Every structure is written in C-alpha cells, then in structure tokens.
Amino acid sequence: MGFDKDHIVMLPFLAQGHLIPFLALAKQIQHRTGFTITIATTALNAHYLRPAQPNTNIHLAELPFRSEDYGLPPNTENTENIPLNVVGNLFTASQHLEAPTRRLVSDITEKEGKPPLCLISDVFFGWAVNVAKSFGTVNVAFTTGGAYGTAAYVSIWQHLPHRSVSSEDAEFHLPGFPERCRLTPSHLHPFLRAADGTDSWSRYFQPQISLSMKSFGCICNTIEEIEPFGLEVLRNYLKVPVWSVLASNISSQKYSGKKSGISAEKCIEWLDSHASDSVVYISFGSQNTISAYQMIELAKGLEKSGKPFVWVIRPPVGHDLKGEFRPEWLPERFEERMRETKQGLLVHNWASQLEILSHEATRAFVSHCGWNSVVESLSRGVPIIGWPLAAEQAYNSKMLVEEMGVSVELTRGVKSNVEAEEVRRVIELVVDDSGEGGEMRRRAGEIMEKIRGAVGEDGEAKGSSLKAIDDFVSELHSQGEGRG
C-alpha cells in the first residue's frame, strides 16, 4: 500500500489473553502495510512477547513499572502471576503507564518529525485517548474479546444493571441489547456482582471504559460472519466505527515465552495414540483455576466418562498457581491410574493449546470460554463445553449456546457444586455424534470454514478480516490527511 513510513503504537493490557491478540494484530497490520509498529508494555510482558516477535518492523518498548510500588509482589505485571485478592491493584496500577507512554510517544514524534499515525490501546486503557489527543493523533480501542462479550461487558460496567434485582436467579435486561437478552447475577464475577459504582473496581472500570468509548473507533477481535448479532449490538452501543479483525492466534503454533508442562512432541505422541475425534481437552486459560472440590468432581466425572482427555491442570483456587501440585487435590491415585490406562494426560501449568486443538484426535474442549480459547477452538471446528469463570466469559458462554449453538454450559464460576455425574453426562452428550453433540460439531465445522474464509486471501479476493484491516488503515490515512 506504500505507507511504510507510518508508525503505530500499541498498548496491550497486562494479561496473556490480551498480549496474544495484540501481537497477532500487530503482525497482520505490519504484513499488510509495512508500517513500523511499537508494542509498548512492561518488562515482564515484553519478555513474554519477545520469542514470538518477528524480525520485521515490530518493536517492543519497555515501559518502566515497579509492581512493588502498588502493593503487588515483585515482577508480577501480568494477571497470571498475581494472587486473586490483589489483582485489582494491577488494574489500578496500570493507569501509571500513562506517563511513560507519553514519553515514548514524545520520543517517536521528535525522532520522526510527526506523531504516530495512531495509538491502538486496550479497551481497558481509556487514558490512551488523552495521550493520543495531546499529540494530535487518534486513538483506536482494541477489544481482544468478541463483539457480544465486549458489548455485554461494557454495558454492564456502565449501567450496573444487576443492582435492580435482589436474588441470584432473578433476571435483568442487558442495556443496549434486545429485550430477549437477559442475565442473572450468577453470570457476573463476584467483584462485579458486588460493584455499586463506589467500589475500587467500578472506580477503575467505569472511567476507563467511558474514555475508551471516546476513541476514534474500535477494532474488535471477531469477524462479521460469525458474530453478526454481536457486532450489530456493539456498533449500536459504541456509535463509532467498529472494524472486525480476527486477531486470536489461529495460525501460528508458536507463542510465547511461556514454558509448557510437557514437550509438544510428547503431547502430540499421546494424541497420536488415540482415535480421531475421541479426546476431550480441558483448560481454563492463562490465569484461572477451579476450586479444590470442583477439581475432584471434574476428575471423577472424566474418569467415569471413560473418554480420553488432556487436562492442563493448576493448583486450585486459594493456592499458589505457580506452586507445586499436590496429589491430594485429585482423587486417590488418579494421575497414576490415568497414566497406566492411558485415559488421561495431565499437563501441569501450560500446554501448547493450538496444537492440541488442531490435532485430529481432539473432539471437544472443556473451556472457561476466554475469547481466544473460543476462537482457537472454533477455528479447528471443536465444540465447547463451557465453564466460564471470570471477566466476560459467562457472556461468551451464553452467546456460544444461544447464538451459535456450538456449546453446552457445564457449570459457572468457582463456587458451583458441580457433580461428577453431571460432568460425565455433559461430556457424553457433546462427544456423541448421534444427537445434539453431532449437531454442535456440524455447526462448529461451519464456523471453522467461515473463519478460514475471513482470514484467507485468494488473488484479488480477500477475506472480511483482511478487508477490515485495509479499511481501517485507509480510514486512518484519511484522518491523517485531514490533520495535515
């Protein structure tokens, strides 16, 4: 396109589920435009990104940030390393990235004789709108979530609609959505359930989200073909241009600085030894875990189902997620039995998720419904068994069941009394091709094709996601020209 002198600064929130799509978006924009891109983040997060950073014009700028200054353990500037009781401090503290970001943008402006073409900031970093404005450039908010989940998340934080109901099972309407879209307080994470506008979470999210809504536009990590309803709601709600660009990591197996609990070869070897479409994959993303009670029930349910499984396992809620895994967190001799019978592979802490989802043996995914996991799963045609835990995951799960028909929700949250028998029943339902499970698989397969089409290019014909990037860049240039 010949705009290779332009520069974009990207500001991801400090969590794996945000870093991964930010990097993927950076790569896509860079590939299509030749722009220079700087991803600005703290040292630890830059360290996570570095191994996956291509050698092209994508740079990592380290923003100074001392987690100890904000009541966090040292070197913990990523949600995955932070005990739940202080994770709120990280959100609040992230606002202190504004000053070093200003210095970075100022340096770029001085060096290049013009400000960056735009700042692409995480939807949680509303302060970036003011930074962009003071340098005479524009800010575009990037939501790493899907359209439905983002619209619900933004709407709930802005309106706190759950305050109108008094019981856990009472339904409330989601502002900005059609009347039929209703939630109950059980869809909300406990801190959001308790939010009333005066608590520390509200004091962070409400102004940051409202500021982000003043961005010039929004890039949403989805595609028109799979989320027509979600995008319609999001566009109506935000009232700014929304470009839908699929930025989850669906093509490259190789992210990140993180160490897997098993070598990719061993994991593949294990999957190779199982029949096609037989294995259930279980993972709760990069930062969540379930309770000790739930872990035992899940293990028993998996064993009862008799289905082979790969489970990325971490210590239960209330324990150090990086700490040693204790055998008493599982039924007696469970791990040994699974090894002997080859029914289950337990991978501690982290696995190469996309490789597992891409393997022909994988049939279903017990997932917390983090948006990247959802997209990765659907990009491989793998239906989902939902177990949402935090953030916008329960809204994603609702959308997967009600709008897409590719999932069954097994349970919700870390407090539920899910039982082994229910785990067995739902797994069997989804893996069984003859009934509902077969239908879900068929729909997941259709979505897989749509995703492939949206990110693909064939001569002149380009998929909707690529077209959205090109439209976005053209719009930025029109803006840039307008500014002279």
Catalytic residues: 18, 122
Binding mask 247-286 for ligand UDP (x = CB under 6 A): --x---------------------------------x-xx
What residues pair up with 309 in beta bridges, in sequence order? Answer: 280, 344
What are the DSSP E strand ranges found in 151-272?
Answer: 172-173, 182-183, 217-220, 242-244
Which of 7, 16, 33, 192 is close enough to bind ligand UDP by CB under 6 A? Answer: 16
Which of 12, 301, 316, 370 is close enough to bind ligand UDP by CB under 6 A? Answer: 370
Nearer to ligand UDP, 41 or 283 (CB): 283
Nearer to ligand UDP, 137 or 221 (CB): 221
Does residue number 372 form part of the binding site for ligand UDP (CB under 6 A)?
A: yes
Cβ atoms 342, 308 nearer than 8 A: yes
Residues in contact with ligand UDP, counted by CB under 6 A, come to a total of 21
Nearer to ligand UDP, 10 or 391 (CB): 391
What residues pair up with 281 in beta bridges, in sequence order? Answer: 310, 365
CA distances from 296 to 261, 302, 317, 330, 349 (A): 21, 10, 13, 5, 17
Of 170, 147, 25, nearest in space to 400 by CA: 147
Does residue number 150 form part of the binding site for ligand UDP (CB under 6 A)?
A: no
Does residue number 19 form part of the binding site for ligand UDP (CB under 6 A)?
A: no
Does residue number 414 form part of the binding site for ligand UDP (CB under 6 A)?
A: no
CB of 310 to ligand UDP, least distance (A): 10
Q: At what angle do helices 371-378 and 16-33 cross, to 10 degrees?
A: 60
CB of 2 to ligand UDP, least distance (A): 33
**Exposure b/e, 141-169, CB count within 10 A at least 16 = b:** bbbbbbbbbbbbbbbbbbbbbbeeeeeee
Residue closest to ligand UDP, measured at CB: 17
What residues pair up with 344 in beta bridges, in sequence order? Answer: 309
What values do phi and psi take at 311, rounded to 5?
-125, 115
Which of 143, 155, 305, 353 is close enough to bind ligand UDP by CB under 6 A? Answer: 353
DSSP 197-208: SSSHHHHHHHHH
CB of 126 to ligand UDP, least distance (A): 20
CB of 351 to ligand UDP, least distance (A): 4
Q: Which stretch binds ligand UDP (CB under 6 A): 13-21, 130-138, 183-191, 396-404?
A: 13-21
DSSP 260-272: PSS-HHHHHHHHH
Q: Which stretch binds ligand UDP (CB under 6 A): 10-18, 115-123, 319-327, 461-469?
A: 10-18
Cβ atoms 217, 472 nearer than 8 A: yes
Does residue number 17 form part of the binding site for ligand UDP (CB under 6 A)?
A: yes
Q: How large is the greatest C-alpha to C-alpha distance in the chain, in angstroms?
A: 70
Q: At what angle do helices 147-159 and 200-212 cross, to 10 degrees?
A: 120
Task: Give the SS3 label for residue 297.
Answer: helix
Which of 153, 371, 395, 472 is close enough to bind ligand UDP by CB under 6 A? Answer: 371
Which of 8, 10, 14, 15 is close enough to bind ligand UDP by CB under 6 A? Answer: 15
Does residue number 20 form part of the binding site for ligand UDP (CB under 6 A)?
A: yes
Nearer to ligand UDP, 16 or 121 (CB): 16
Q: Which stretch binds ligand UDP (CB under 6 A): 56-64, 167-175, 180-188, 367-375?
A: 367-375
Length of the chain: 484
Task: Give the SS3 label for residue 281.
Answer: strand
Summarize as ranges the residues that interact with ligand UDP (CB under 6 A): 15-17, 20, 249, 283, 285-288, 312, 350-354, 370-373, 376
